[in-house]
Structure 1
Amino acid sequence: MNVLTDLQPEELEFTATCPKGIEGLLAAELRDLGAESVREQPAAVYFTGSLKLAYRCCLWSRLANRILLRLAQIHVSSAEDLYEAVASQPWELHVRPSGKLWLQFSGTNGEIRNSQFGAQKAKDAIVDRLRRQSGTRPSIEKHHPDLTVAFRLHRDKLDIAIDLSGDSLHRRGYRTHIGAAPLKENLAAALLIRSGWPKVAEAGGALLDPMCGSGTILIEAAMMAADMAPGLTRDSFGFERWLNHQSDIWSELREEALQRQGEGLARALPEIRGYDADAKVLFAAEANIARAGVERHVRVSCRPVATFKVPSHREVKTGLVLTNPPYGERLGEQEALRETYFELGRQLKLEFPGWSVGVLTGNPELGYATGLRSHKQYQLYNGSIPSQLLLFQVRTQAETSAIGTMEVRLSPEAEMVANRLRKNLRTTGKWAGRAGVDCYRLYDADLPEYAAAIDLYKSLDGDLYAHLQEYRPPATIEEDKARGRLRDLLRALQSVVEIPRANISIKERRRHSHKAVNKGVGQYQKQADTRPGFLVGEYGAELEVDLWSYLDTGLFLDHRPVRKYLRDISSGKNFLNLFCYTASATVQAALGGCKQSISVDMSRTYQSWAARNYRANGMDPYRHQLVEADCLQWLESAQQNRKRHYDLIFLDPPSFSNSAKMRGVLDIQRDHATLIRQCMRLLAPRGRLVFSNNLRSFKMGEEISSEFEVEKLNLLDKDFQRNPRIHNVWELRNK
């Protein structure tokens, strides 16, 4: 007896499952294969047709995960209902009592609250029925079962289906070697279809992947171009051990597919080539390419993104660049990857005018680092990771000249941010121009939900840079929403300020666990992106800034008026700069005419940075000494020499420090009185101490005001006046 006789074999009901985001593509593919009554659902497509159609879908679908044949849909509300519903099915017509069985169960309802419990009940029903009829029961085995049954319970409706696929259809069988972050084969196929590869291939265009990894995109592209059925490389399908398997139909379909494959591989295929900077991963790619049978048509080479160009060995005029670069999860990784994306964009613009480009990324912000504007974006899932396929069209030089600067299309939220940036440019930007200030803060969390600071830097060479630094979002803001707001800020900035994406540095402050933080990390910790710094001008000084390598840039912009004040009062004085950072204040004091100076900081990195600042401004290292030391210990040692010889001292400690190089812990609110007294003992009779800190809750101790002459200074420029508590400055003299 054939169970399909009772199921109207030309109108069987099927479900094709797939990754989220490609349901529409799968529906179109199934229609092309002959499916009827096609209906999309999240991560699935329902359709009707014959068993021959189901076989064809298993063999030819490039997008599906599984093809399920629905046996029944039954109302169940309890465990007893579930057992009876499953036991009522004629399982003896699907699997031998001595065979191997596997079950997949998903979903719950009010009574069946655990899918594992549901699977147990369903298994009992099947084996009990078969045991009652034959005295034998099937074994339960996950690997290579004779029958896989899929159950789905939703709102008291139980779908019972046979999995015709066996192993997931995305496992073609050619990929025995994979890279660190493998792209599933059916997702790679979806990327190719979304990017227009079938039409590009038909027109003879090339397919290039500059970061090909284990070669999945390349192999799928070759299989499409050669008309190769993706199921031909598999060892088996689930239906082959099913009692209702129609071997004659299957043999006919396989023979047809083999004939089409032979004809396809005999043709001259378009250029399909991949590159990767990791030679080791290319060994895996070559093995996979050979196993897929496309080694005559797909080639890979070891080459970094910075040298990516159109192949010269064959006349290739145009085509598609499609790639799935890494996207990173940690700040350091993302900063390093921005350089990779930037290099990719630069090479695309330089070498590939007129080409189409597709980039799949789990961090769309990195996609913007290419400097290209995507005209289409598709939401996809790479496994469980929300991702975007960004499609670009690289414009020719003529097109670029004709259209001029492209405007960035903004969401309503990003447009709101852009309006604020435009307003700030009209006010703060004009002030900076009049004041001769080349580096200033354009935006500082003006809109509370967009909590970040944007600083603009103009180099001595005339290039414009931006430093976008996110403030740590509160725990109530979801991570995805915080990232979306950061992207809005970036897009708004690009639309308002004419600045290349490569000249924008982004520092993200992601939430971390509450584990203890190691000493010595933070502003001193080097990031992964190590592009060189550049010089900027400030009141005649030339100062080095680095927007990429560290959390801080080497120049605190809110201290600008303090540095100018020190310059104005330093003529003829001996100057001491404690916690000097990159010694930009000492540079200004030297240009203001101070006779000699000592600048103390414990960081070797910043001492080296300060030395470069000194050289850039022609400062005499004998008159202006740099001392690598813990300022707390240095001050204690200096107390032994009671000669008061510093006319001007600048004390600018951090709010808190527990560096591994320090003997103790510095808390500025607790320790400021001690620090101030030590400095005052080093002042010449008419000397001045300028004391500065950025602790917004700081309060000067009353005992200091009684011991010394203390004057609060208002030293904030226009770009920081929105939040006057950002910086505290006092001038102190001995009474």
Structure 2
Amino acid sequence: MKFFVTCPKGIEQLLEQELQTLGADSTKQTVAGVYVEGDLRLAYTVCLWSRLANRVLLQLVEGDAVTADDLYALVQSIDWLEHLRPNGTFCVDFSGKSDAINNTHFGALKVKDGIVDQIRDATGKRPTIERVQPDLRVNAHLAKGRLSLAVDLSGESLHRRGYRRQAGAAPMKENLASAVLIRAGWPADQEQVPEVLDPMCGSGTLLIEAALMSADIAPGLLRRHFGFTYWLGHQSSLWQELIAEAETRRTQGLERCTVKFIGFDADEQVLSRARQNARQAGVEHFMNFEHRELARLKRPGEAESGLVVTNPPYGERLGEESELMFLYQLFGQLLRKHFAGWRVAVFTGNPELCKVMKLRADKQYRMFNGSIPSQLLLFQVHHKVAAEDGPVEPVVLSSQAQMFENRLRKNLKQMARWRKRESITCFRVYDADIPEYAVAVDYYDPMVMVQEYAAPASVDRVKAFDRVQEVLKVVQQVFELTPEQVVLKQRKRQQGSEQYTRQNETGHFYTVVEHGVQLRVNLHDYLDSGLFLDHRPVRRMIQSISADKDVLNLFCYTASATCHAVAGGARSSTSVDMSATYLDWARRNLDLNGADPARHLLVQEDCFKWLAKPRKERFDLIFMDPPTFSNSKRMHDVLDVQRDHVRLIEGAMQLLRPDGLLIFSNNYRRFSLDYEALSAFDVRDITSKTLDPDFKRNSRIHCVFEIRHSNKT
């Protein structure tokens, strides 16, 4: 018999070696699979024992199929009653295309027609299509005008062992995990490796696969169904013989296994899944899963050698790469400190991150995690590297970092008199003054938030990371802060409501004071702190003119402007925003400043909808600071401040008393107010008057307009 055994791209060589070990005599590698010849015992053995294969395809015929009629004729050249009962079920998996057959659905339909027509003509009965566990799964592949037809003996992909009922957010497939382990030397040298550790284990796939290998457990033993189960060529006695042999080997292997498998993860919920998966696989007795942050990583026992194998995160969430570089750097530091003599295998879809680990890879292998090009890097942690336990050396800064430090100190000195005079405790110290250090540094007494502007793709990410580290060191020195008092964020180009999306959940709020107003800030959980520092002069102006006025704050965010209005003696206020999270934040800000809830209202609603409703109330002062763009799910439509500002302003002006004032602002750097469309109003650009010394250098940080009803008749 001729078979084609498929596998993930990048592990074809390993699969060929495995097939030879399982008894195959004739093998030939190709992309994502291996051709092999053998008998039915070999096919069953691969289905049961292969740790690397996806599918085992029994090849039936191959021939020219230039047209749809050619394809149909080739399908009919097979005696399908040798494979399928007349009233059985089947399905067709079709891949590939040609000029005449350019749609996989059409190709599958023609194959189906060929099978059904033949059986119906011969028996008067017709089989039916069934996608879930059919009696027969037919595989058809069309390439370069040639069609190959095969029976899929595996059924579901063989990577689905049957033990993983639940997985984490980005699970690694079981056969890819096995390939990683084999490349790392497992289980060939397990006698010299008493412990296997995954410090970021997720749902435990790497450790469970390692245990199955160590205990000689066939990965197919837990599966209840294969593609050959109802295939007419199935030899049940031969299959049961192989199952019995595998069960005996499992019993003996479990008795022999002495290796300890240890998994750490920062997510307790995902660890519960790992424990459940280990129980399903029957290897829970060898496992020790523990809730542990990476920062607490240490050698778990006294073993002088072992294997650390892991698939760290490498996702692309907002600002994540910068955070992950710190994670990989910390990982490298802890390996050098605690794991001298151990081997390390790191599988990642972002090998650039591994450069900051400061470990030299002995070997590198290219693989694919689904469609993601990935790499496996193998390290040996040497004793001389890990034994560095001397005193901490003083921080040595590069000449460029010293320039950054000098600029930081100069800016602080220049702003010192102004900060003292105005009692400013929250301010911007630096904003990309030096091109090599593209960060903003904001001081929120007693913390500092460093916002890294995402570097262009052309900039070396490791160099950019090193510069950010220098920034953090300088900030700590200049402000005399601990590392915990410096928060790093990465600012990318914002999409929709990302600016206001929760990034973390530390709940770390504290109170700052601005012009006598108390405001809650949070530097950890959101991209912004809850207080836009550049709008300080606008808030001061609102505070100075709010006495005995009815104030409206649209797109109020955390209602800091409303709090200033309250401090300025506003008679009443209404603050409108869509976000329940930010309105709760606003409520706490108002409470801090003694606002009477009966006179100072918070409204959760889309500002467009709120403005469109008929209402009797009128206001003396309106502040409106919409986002540049928003496509929040709570909005009926998408907000684009350039496109929509006229409609927003006109809606607000309908609620403004004759002698009232609308302050309209936004932070779109290319904003252009439509003076012609708003010619019915008196409009004055006051942007230059709303820039305090800490934002003078960046005059496009926002734009602000005063808008009043015109006195023209």
SS class of match (2:206): helix
Q: 1:504 maps to which residue?
A: 488
1:667 equivalenced with 2:655 (yes/no): no
SS class of match (1:161): strand
SS class of match (1:57): helix
Distance 1:653 1:298, change over 3 A: same
How many angstroms apart in 2 are the aligned matches of 1:281 and 1:221?
Answer: 19
Q: What TM-score does the superposition give when structure 1 sets the normalisation length?
A: 0.63
Paired residue type of 2:532: F
Q: 1:432 maps to which residue?
A: 411
Using the TM superposition, give the Cα deviation of residue 79 of structure 1 relative to its aligned residue in structure 2, in angstroms: 2.5
How many angstroms apart in 1 are the aligned matches of 2:357 and 2:548?
Answer: 49
1:68 equivalenced with 2:23 (yes/no): no
Distance 1:111 1:403, change over 3 A: farther
How many angstroms apart in 2 are the aligned matches of 1:16 and 1:194?
Answer: 20
SS class of match (1:38): strand
Q: 1:654 maps to which residue?
A: 625
Q: 1:605 maps to which residue?
A: 585
SS class of match (2:36): strand
Which of 427, 442, 459 is the aligned partner of 1:457?
A: 442
1:122 equivalenced with 2:108 (yes/no): no
SS class of match (2:196): strand
Distance 1:201 1:458, change over 3 A: farther
Paired residue type of 1:667: L
Q: 1:57 maps to which residue?
A: 46
How many angstroms apart in 2 are the aligned matches of 1:435 and 1:405?
Answer: 28
1:556 equivalenced with 2:532 (yes/no): yes
Distance 1:432 1:190, change over 3 A: farther
Using the TM superposition, give the Cα deviation of residue 157 of structure 1 relative to its aligned residue in structure 2, in angstroms: 1.0
Which of 75, 81, 84 is the aligned partner of 2:73?
A: 84
Using the TM superposition, give the Cα deviation of residue 66 of structure 1 relative to its aligned residue in structure 2, in angstroms: 0.3
Structure 2 unaligned blocks of 5 or more: 417-426, 473-482, 576-582, 604-609, 612-616, 635-644
Whether the aligned pair in 1 keeps the contact of 2:93 and 2:138 (CA below 8 Å) is yes
Distance 1:709 1:378, change over 3 A: closer
Q: What TM-score does the superposition give when structure 2 sets the normalisation length?
A: 0.64
Paired residue type of 1:505: K
Distance 1:322 1:627, change over 3 A: farther
How many angstroms apart in 1 are the aligned matches of 2:588 and 2:38?
Answer: 76
Which of 466, 475, 495 is the aligned partner of 1:495?
A: 466
Which of 143, 146, 150 is the aligned partner of 2:139?
A: 150
Q: What is the aligned-residue identity percentage?
A: 34
Deviations 1:188-217 (A, max 9, x none): 334444666547745325334566565433
Using the TM superposition, give the Cα deviation of residue 528 of structure 1 relative to its aligned residue in structure 2, in angstroms: 4.6
Using the TM superposition, give the Cα deviation of residue 375 of structure 1 relative to its aligned residue in structure 2, in angstroms: 7.5
Whether the aligned pair in 2 keeps the contact of 1:342 and 1:370 (CA below 8 Å) is no
Deviations 1:14-46 (A, max 9, x none): 3222345555654554465556553332xx213
Paired residue type of 2:648: D
Distance 1:307 1:586, change over 3 A: same
Q: 2:212 maps to which residue?
A: 223
343-352 vs 20-29, which moves further: 343-352
Paired residue type of 2:487: N
1:530 equivalenced with 2:530 (yes/no): no
Which of 13, 29, 34 is the aligned partner of 1:46?
A: 34
Whether the aligned pair in 2 keeps the contact of 1:223 and 1:229 (CA below 8 Å) is yes
Deviations 1:570-606 (A, max 9, x none): 9xx99999969879899999xxxxxx84477845624
> Which residues in structure 2 correspond to 1:375-386 (within 5 Å)?
386=372
Whether the aligned pair in 2 keeps the contact of 1:712 and 1:730 (CA below 8 Å) is no
Equivalenced residue count is: 629
Deviations 1:423-459 (A, max 9, x none): 9959976863553487356359x99xxxxx9522356
SS class of match (2:99): coil
Which of 319, 339, 356 is the aligned partner of 2:307?
A: 319
Whether the aligned pair in 2 keeps the contact of 1:77 and 1:156 (CA below 8 Å) is yes
Which of 442, 461, 466 is the aligned partner of 2:450?
A: 466
How many angstroms apart in 2 are the aligned matches of 1:128 and 1:559?
Answer: 75
SS class of match (2:466): helix
Whether the aligned pair in 1 keeps the contact of 2:96 and 2:142 (CA below 8 Å) is yes
Which of 136, 147, 169 is the aligned partner of 2:158?
A: 169
How many angstroms apart in 1 are the aligned matches of 2:95 and 2:516?
Answer: 70
Paired residue type of 2:673: F
Which of 286, 289, 293 is the aligned partner of 2:278?
A: 289
Distance 1:139 1:350, change over 3 A: same
Which of 670, 673, 679 is the aligned partner of 1:698?
A: 673
SS class of match (1:109): coil
Q: 2:178 maps to which residue?
A: 189
Distance 1:655 1:195, change over 3 A: same
Whether the aligned pair in 1 keeps the contact of 2:688 and 2:699 (CA below 8 Å) is no
Whether the aligned pair in 2 keeps the contact of 1:467 and 1:547 (CA below 8 Å) is no
How many angstroms apart in 2 are the aligned matches of 1:217 and 1:227?
Answer: 15
How many angstroms apart in 2 are the aligned matches of 1:288 and 1:75?
Answer: 46
Deviations 1:449-473 (A, max 9, x none): xxxx952235656x75323578xxx
> Which residues in structure 2 correspond to 1:281-360 (within 5 Å)?
285-286=274-275, 288-300=277-289, 303=291, 305=293, 318-322=306-310, 353-354=338-339
Using the TM superposition, give the Cα deviation of residue 630 of structure 1 relative to its aligned residue in structure 2, in angstroms: 7.2
Distance 1:372 1:263, change over 3 A: same
248-257 vs 68-77, which moves further: 248-257
SS class of match (1:220): helix
Using the TM superposition, give the Cα deviation of residue 222 of structure 1 relative to its aligned residue in structure 2, in angstroms: 0.5
Distance 1:543 1:280, change over 3 A: closer
Paired residue type of 2:33: V
How many angstroms apart in 2 are the aligned matches of 1:403 and 1:387?
Answer: 39
Paired residue type of 2:34: Y
How many angstroms apart in 2 are the aligned matches of 1:435 and 1:588?
Answer: 27
RMSD: 6.4
